[in-house]
Each structure stands twice: as C-alpha cells, then as structure tokens.
Amino acid sequence: MGEKELEFKTELLKLEEGPSVVSLRKCQLVVVDGPNRGKKVALNRNQLTVGKREDNDLVLTDTTVSRNHIEIKYQQDAFELRDLDSTNGTFINGTRVKEAYLAPGDRIKVGNTTLEFVAFDEKISIEPSARDSFGTLVGRSTKMRQIFSILEKISPTHATVIIEGETGTGKELVARAIHENSQRKGKPFIVFDCSSVAPNLIESELFGHERGSFTGAVKSRRGAFEEATGGTIFLDEIGELTLDLQPKLLRALEQREIKRVGSNVPVKIDVRVVCATNRNLRKEIEEGRFREDLYYRLSVVKISLPSLRERVEDVPPLVERFLQSGKFNLQPDGKLKVTKSTTTRSRCSHATNGRATSGNFRTSSNGPARS
Ligand SMILES: Nc1ncnc2c1ncn2[C@@H]1O[C@H](COP(=O)(O)OP(=O)(O)OP(=O)(O)O)[C@@H](O)[C@H]1O
Ligand SMILES: [Mg+2]
C-alpha cells in the first residue's frame, strides 16, 4: 500500500525541559554476557546484522560466533530476527530459532555471547506546529501544537499509536485525525470500545466467529478487524482488555492475521491500529494487569494528551468550536443562538470561573449548553 515506515531519526527531535507529550518506543541490543559485555547497539534502522566480521553493525569478538550470525529486520513496527545459517545456531530464551519476533527482555544467545533485547519509551520534545488545529482538533497551547506537529509526521505512516489521557481530552478525535490524514482515509475507521463489550464476547467481536462456534452464534460474522480492512481500527479503553485476550491481540498484530472464533483458517489483515486508554499502562504492567510485550507492540508512538487544566489557553478556541458545532446552539432555522463575537470571552471566564478548570471538555461542555 506504499505506506511509509516510521523513520524517527533522533536528530529530527530535540530534547527540552518540561513534561513531554510524546514518547517513542526505542529498542537496543545489549551484550549482557561474553567477551564484549557492555556493548550496545541501537535498533533504529530497517536492518541490522550481528557477527564476527568487521562489517556487521554489532561486531562480536567471540570466536564461537559466526562471521555473519544474525540479522534483525524492522518491518511493520516489529523486529524480526533471522539466523543466517550460523554454525552454532541462535537461541532465544533457551529455544533454538531460525526466525522469531523479538519481545522486550528476550535473551538471544549466539555462541558464548548473550544479548538482551531492551525496549523503552523515550520522551521527546518536538517543535510545536505553527497551526492551531488539526482535523477537528483545536488548540493553541504549546503542548497541543506539539501534538499537531507529531500528528503531521506520524499520520501518513503505518505506526501503531497509543493515546493516553483523562476522559474528555480528545483521544477519539486524535485517533480520527490520524486516520483522516493517512492514506487509509476513505477506508473504514472502526471504533472498538473494549470497556463496553462483555469480556466473554470481546474475542468474537474483535476477530469474528463461525456459525455454531458458541451458543447464540447462529450466523458466521466478521469481527471488527475484518470490518476495518484497509483502514484503521481504534481500540478504545485498551487497558480494559482482559489478560487472557491480550496474547491473542498480540498475535494478531505480530502475524498480521486473525482467526475467527471456531475457525482454524487464518485471515490476513491489513489494518492500522490506534488505541487509547485513560489508565497509566506502565503502572498496569507493574501491577500485572497488562502484558509488557503487548504494550511494547502498541506503543511505537505514545501521545499523552494533557488535561484542559494544564492548557487553559485552549479554552477559548474550544468554546468557539463548541458554539459553532454544538447542536445545543442551533436555532430551528439553522442560525446560531450564541455567536462568538458576543460571548466567547465572558463564557470562557464563566466556564472556568476565572481559574484553571478542573474538568476536560466533556465536563466543561455542559457550561455553555446550560447557561
Ligand atoms: N482539542 C479539541 N478540539 C476540539 N474538540 C475537542 C478537543 N478535545 C476534546 N474535544 C471535544 O470534547 C469531547 C470529548 O472528546 P473525546 O470523545 O475525543 O474524548 P476522549 O478522550 O475520547 O474521552 P473519553 O475518555 O471520555 O472517551 C468531544 O465532543 C470532542 O469533540
Ligand atoms: Mg473516548
């Protein structure tokens, strides 16, 4: 489909002080055992090789390592390792492999050397965009303009994105804006809210099912992934996904194929994944409720939407947008009841009571509607 891979070279971004709204997933290979212990190499290119020969990206002096031992390719957000017919073979966490997808914490043994695959989120600061809107999103604060800037860059790629933020911070709007600014625009944008489907039905709603696969499955049905073919699936409240389903989603993302419930036939999927959560997934991982390998897979780009109280300067454009598009403000003849020129200022200070608002737009949006 000619979609760009996400090519984030660090030089594009510069680090600054202050809380960051964007993190990128970074991966490294670290030599944890063997003669070159302590050596590291960043995995930031589409292909990387490891071996004894001088022209490898990671050169190991271990004599039991082959001249060209392994190759790691970056494709569709995943790192895939391949053994290059090495003499002594390649082992991941003790199992000999020819090809495998890497997950954080994996131990790769080549000869007498052990490498660890390390993944982490790197907070970045990005030059704010000059624009004060992106799709249907509005905002003039530096943080929102930084988000617009990152959205401009990542929307056209295939990158999986995770959006964190309190309720009402605009997570769904960001997901839609990514889709609308990608080559997938015009193809389906499917919203799947993990918190609104009964846990025992999530699998069949996501991946579909065959007739008779469970009581009540009277007809075969496509799931949300198949519905989203060619487009984007927005997995809302991903933190609600139960632990038994997480490996199934991980497999679907890695293999780029799904199996309907009750079927053994894999179906190829061409779907971009964007997810959102109002939980802190790092904390969920620490507490054992979210799998790190799935988080790693989803968080190629992480956008942390700031709450409205951290960007009070965005209240006026939000109120304006709301007055223009809210049904509450329409007269029967289609004219606006309240127009910007008469009210925005007084209503903004009214909505915020002259101080930073504690709510986000969902809560403050009642303000103009009632008054
Ligand atoms: N930056 C913004 N620009 C324009 N409208 C916004 C913005 N942020 C929020 N809104 C509006 O606020 C409302 C809530 O936004 P949205 O549904 O995207 O939030 P959310 O983060 O998905 O919330 P929840 O966690 O409750 O699902 C919507 O009506 C949306 O149009
Ligand atoms: Mg939402």
Q: Using a 6 Å cutoff on CB, does residue 172 contact ligand 1?
A: yes
Q: How confident is the model at residue 341 (pLDDT cuts 50, 70, 90)?
A: low
Point out the ligand 1 atom lying closest to the alpha carbon of residue 137. Answer: 3
Whether the predicted pLDDT of 202 surpasses 50: yes
pLDDT in the model for residue 319: 85
Q: Is the pLDDT of residue 28 over 50?
A: yes
Assess whether the C-beta atom of 173 lies below 6 angstroms from ligand 1: yes
Q: How far apart are the first and last CA of the chain?
A: 50
Q: Which residue, judged by its Cα, is nearest atom 16 of ligand 1?
A: 170
pLDDT in tens, 69-121: 999 998 878 899 999 999 999 999 999 999 999 999 999 999 999 999 999 88
Is 268 a residue whose pLDDT tops 90? yes
DSSP 3-state helix, strand, coil percentages of the chain (rounded to 5)?
Answer: 30, 25, 45
Please tell me the residue having the least CA distance from ligand 1 atom 3.
137
How does residue 359 score in pLDDT terms, banded at 50, 70 and 90?
A: low
Residue 235 Cα distances to 105, 204, 207, 280, angstroms: 26, 15, 13, 16
What's residue 214's pLDDT?
Answer: 80
Residues 19-40: what's their mean pLDDT? 92
Which of 4-8, 180-184, 251-255 has the highest mean predicted lDDT (pLDDT)? 180-184
Helix (H/G/I), strand (E/B), else coil: 49: strand
Best of 131, 142, 362, 364 to mutate for ligand 1, by most ligand atoms within 8 A of CB? 362
Q: What percent of the chain clears pLDDT 70, i.e. is strictly above it? A: 84
Contact 99, 80 (CB under 8 A): yes
Under 8 Å between Cβ of 108 and 33: no
Q: For residues 144, 307, 273 and 186, what is the CA-based torsion angle, rounded to 10 degrees?
A: -60
Confidence band for 259, pLDDT divided at 50, 70 and 90: very high
Provide the pLDDT confidence category of residue 234 given band limits of 50, 70 and 90.
very high
Average pLDDT, the chain: 86
pLDDT value of residue 8: 55
Q: How far apart are CA 328 and CA 332, in angstroms?
A: 11
* Residue 165, ligand 1, Cβ within 6 A: yes
- Residue with CA at minimum distance from ligand 1 atom 12: 361
pLDDT value at 340 more than 70: no
What's the pTM?
0.85
Q: What is the mean pLDDT of residues 332-360?
A: 55
For ligand 1, is residue 167 a contact (CB within 6 Å)? yes
pLDDT band with cut points at 50, 70 and 90 for residue 217: confident
The pLDDT tens digits of the residues spanning 141-175 come to 999 999 999 999 999 998 999 999 999 999 999 99
Q: Is the pLDDT of residue 31 over 90?
A: yes
Q: With bands split at pLDDT 50, 70 and 90, how would you rate the model's confidence at 18?
A: low
Q: How far is the CA of 354 from the centre of ligand 1 (A)?
A: 22
In ligand 1, the atom with minimum distance to the C-alpha of 172 is 18
pLDDT in tens, 167-194: 999 999 999 999 999 999 999 999 999 9
Distance from residue 266's CA to the centre of ligand 1 (Å): 36
Lowest mean pLDDT among 93-107, 120-134, 217-231, 345-359: 345-359
Nearest-atom number in ligand 1 for the CA of 321 is 4
**How far away, in angstroms, is 361 Cα from ligand 1 center?**
6
CA–centroid distance, residue 193 to ligand 2 (Å): 8
- Tell me which residue of 178, 160, 159 sits closest to 170, measured CA to CA: 178
Cα–ligand 2 centroid distance for 151 (angstroms): 18
Strand 78-83 to 70-75 pairing = antiparallel
Give the number of whichever ligand sits closest to the CA of residue 168. Answer: 1
* Calpha distance 27→115 (Å, rounded): 13
> Does position 7 have pLDDT exceeding 80, yes or no?
no
CA of 26 to the centre of ligand 1 (A): 29
| pLDDT over threshold 60, residue 17 | no
Beta bridge partners of 92: 95, 108
Is any atom of ligand 1 closer than 6 Å to the C-beta of 170? yes
Please state the φ and ψ torsions of residue 162, each to the nearest 5 degrees.
-120, 135
Q: Could you tell me the distance, in angstroms and rounded to a whole number, from the CA of residue 237 to the centre of ligand 2?
A: 8
